[in-house]
């Protein structure tokens, strides 16, 4: 009897593959992606496909943008994929193939996704999408939706940048694939919203780092007084406080002498 792997099993395998601490800004992103992919892969109705791969890779790359050090970011994805028994290298290859197809034949890809009809060779997209549309037990996922979004965004960026046109296009795709357009639109709106939140957090962290850097510079190089700065420019030593006091005392003595 086969035992279904748990989330704890997946997390244990992930941390064995990547035992380093994860940047706090990105910790939730990694955790949610790992859990989401685990729950999908242990589902009996789940079947791997290149659109899912495109969605997973795109989500990872966009949410993890700016992770430092970059070398560790490149190691985290294989650790996630390995923990859920997927191959990160294969997923990147499949994702790149679909992205390149959308860039090479944008009009044909858009038409096919909205109608399932094409006279062009759009493999592996055509076979994958038609099989999904005909499969009543297809296991829909947010990552698959992100894969569709990425294809549409690549094929027709102008439409996807307009809220009303974007929702209408996504609805057409959802109806063509028998996925339910409302769920598709809701998931993709949440995806875009989360991207904005992560970008805001990333900018906030960048600002904090920059502010701390400036404070450190000020501590190490405190600003000179006006007299010290003038003396430094003139090539002389800045007057010391006791010198200034003596000058003031001498001036007072001279003034008293003149008065007498």
Quick one: pLDDT at residue 169?
95
For 156, the token pair is: 């027709």
For 53, the token pair is: 């791969």
Residue 215: phi, psi to the nearest 5?
A: -65, -40
pTM listed for this prediction: 0.79
Domain residue spans in the chain?
7-209, 227-259
For 103, the token pair is: 């860039």
Other CB atoms within a 10 A radius of the CB of residue 128 amount to 19
For 197, the token pair is: 């939140």
Quick one: pLDDT at residue 88?
96
- Cα–Cα distance for residue pair 177/199, rounded to 1 Å: 31
- Cα–Cα distance for residue pair 19/21, rounded to 1 Å: 7
- Cα–Cα distance for residue pair 124/85, rounded to 1 Å: 22
Nearest to 156 by CA among 91, 217, 111: 111
DSSP assignment, residue 20?
Answer: S
Question: Please, are residues 184 and 148 in contact by the beta-carbon 8 Å criterion?
Answer: yes
- Cα–Cα distance for residue pair 113/175, rounded to 1 Å: 10
141: left (phi over 0), alpha (psi -120 to 50) or beta: beta
Quick one: pLDDT at residue 2?
61
DSSP assignment, residue 155?
Answer: H
Nearest to 67 by CA among 205, 195, 207, 191: 205
Quick one: pLDDT at residue 232?
54
Quick one: pLDDT at residue 119?
87
Residue 97: phi, psi to the nearest 5?
A: -60, -45
Residue 254, Cβ density class (10 Å: 0-12 exposed, 13-18 middle, ≥19 buried): exposed
For 144, the token pair is: 């698959």
- What is the pLDDT tens value at each position of the chain, 260 positions in all? 468 899 999 999 999 999 999 988 899 999 999 999 999 999 999 999 999 999 999 999 999 998 888 889 999 999 999 999 999 999 999 999 999 999 999 999 999 999 999 888 999 999 999 999 999 999 999 999 999 999 999 999 999 999 999 999 999 999 999 998 899 999 999 999 988 888 887 777 777 777 877 887 888 887 665 545 545 555 555 455 555 445 444 444 444 444 44
- Chain centre distance of CA 106: 25
Classify the C-alpha dihedral 204-209-214-219 as positive or negative.
positive
């Amino acid at each position: 009897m086969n035992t279904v792997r748990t989330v704890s099993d997946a997390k244990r395998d992930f941390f064995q593959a990547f035992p380093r601490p994860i940047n706090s800004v990105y910790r939730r992103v990694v955790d949610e992606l790992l859990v989401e992919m685990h729950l999908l892969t242990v589902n009996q109705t789940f079947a791997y496909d290149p659109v899912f791969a495109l969605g997973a890779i795109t989500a990872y790359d966009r949410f993890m943008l700016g992770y430092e050090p970059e070398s560790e970011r490149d190691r985290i994805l294989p650790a996630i994929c390995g923990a859920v028994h997927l191959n990160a290298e294969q997923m990147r290859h499949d994702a790149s193939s679909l992205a390149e197809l959308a860039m090479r034949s944008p009009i044909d890809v858009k038409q096919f996704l909205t109608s399932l009809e094409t006279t062009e060779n759009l493999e592996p997209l055509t076979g994958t999408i038609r099989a999904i549309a005909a499969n009543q037990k297809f296991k829909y996922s947010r990552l698959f939706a992100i894969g569709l979004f990425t294809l549409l965004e690549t094929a027709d960026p102008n439409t996807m940048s307009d809220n009303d046109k974007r929702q209408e296009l996504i609805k057409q795709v959802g109806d063509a694939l028998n996925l339910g357009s409302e769920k598709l639109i809701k998931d993709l709106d949440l995806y875009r919203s989360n991207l904005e939140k992560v970008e805001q957090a990333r900018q906030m962290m960048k600002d904090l780092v920059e502010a701390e850097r400036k404070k450190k510079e000020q501590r190490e190089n405190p600003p000179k007084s006006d007299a010290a700065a003038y003396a430094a420019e003139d090539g002389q030593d800045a007057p010391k406080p006791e010198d200034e006091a003596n000058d003031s005392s001498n001036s007072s003595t001279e003034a008293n002498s003149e008065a007498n």
